Chain A
Amino acid sequence: MIMIELYLTSGLMMMLGVYCVAMKPNLIKKIIGLAIFTDAIHLLLITIGSRENGIPPIITPENVNTFSQFSVDPVPQALVLTSIVISLSITALALCIAIIAYRHFKTLDTEKMSDLRG
């Protein structure tokens, strides 16, 4: 039962993200829900590789000797750093496509977009 509040926060954010993508009719709100879902997955990945009484993986002149006993896992942190940049690229491209869709359909409502049929 170590750090249960972080796991519950991650699960709650995942449920909120799925709810926003599925139930909101506006296009911009769906893109925001996608970003929330991605951030919840990053939180879960970093929380898995931690330990109790852990210190961040930075070597300072004080703890050169006892460093390898207390530090947390550095490998998921390096991979999440890559994933954040990829999520930014996905959000930027999705917003660009939303701009072009607005110019073509004259509305941002997905229920009206599926009614028009060109």
Chain B
Amino acid sequence: MMKRNIVVGVCMVMIFSFMLYVFMFPGFGEWDNKSVAEHYIQNSLKETNSANVVGSIVWDFRSFDTLGEETVLFTAAMGIFSLVMFGLGKGEGK
């Protein structure tokens, strides 16, 4: 029990110092080198007539990431189906 308490305490101190490091590193709110975001904001109304910049990123500029996410959702539904059928019929069933 004592060893687990020490490990958890060290883990929490590490996470807190990681937060402080992220806080001090760049100057927040500065737009030094965000070239991809500038390109998406300025060209979202010209290339696709969409007023929602996040929607046009998700479905138009980077649509393959959304395709991968739909695959994950479909796999989760199939996995839960097979687990429930395994629990009910001992491996049999539809």
Direct contact of A and B (CB under 8 A): yes
Please tell me the size bucket of the interface on B.
Answer: 35 or more
Docked complex Cα distance between A78 and B79 (Å): 26
> Whole-angstrom distance between the alpha carbons of A19 and B16 in the complex?
13
By the criterion of a CB under 8 Å from any partner CB, how many residues of chain A are at the interface?
A: 45
8 Å CB contacts to A: which residues of B22-53? 22-23, 28-31, 34, 36-38, 40-42, 44-45, 51-53
Contacts of B34 in A (CB 8 A): 73
Mask: chain A, 10-27; 1 = CB below 8 Å from B; 0 = not: 110011001100110000
- In the complex, the answer to whether A74 meets B41 with C-beta atoms within 8 Å is yes
Our pick among B38, B42, B51 for the contact of A60 (Cβ within 8 Å) is B51
Closest Cβ of chain A to B50, distance in Å, is 9
B28 touches A75 (CB 8 A): no
Measured in the bound complex, the distance between the Cα atoms of B1 and A53 in whole Å is 49
Which residues of chain B are within 8 angstroms of A15 by Cβ–Cβ distance?
12, 15-16
Within 8 A of B (CB), among A43-85: 44, 48-52, 57-60, 64, 67-68, 71, 73-75, 77-79, 81-82, 85
Cβ B29 vs Cβ A50 within 8 A: yes
Please tell me if the beta carbons of A82 and B57 are within 8 angstroms of each other in the complex.
Answer: no
Decide yes or no whether A100 CB sits under 8 A from chain B. yes
A: residues with CB less than 8 A from B are 2-4, 7-8, 10-11, 14-15, 18-19, 22-23, 44, 48-52, 57-60, 64, 67-68, 71, 73-75, 77-79, 81-82, 85-86, 89, 92-93, 96-97, 99-100, 103
11 A-B contact pairs sorted by A residue (CB < 8 Å): A2-B28, A7-B19, A11-B16, A14-B19, A15-B15, A15-B16, A22-B11, A81-B54, A85-B72, A96-B80, A99-B87
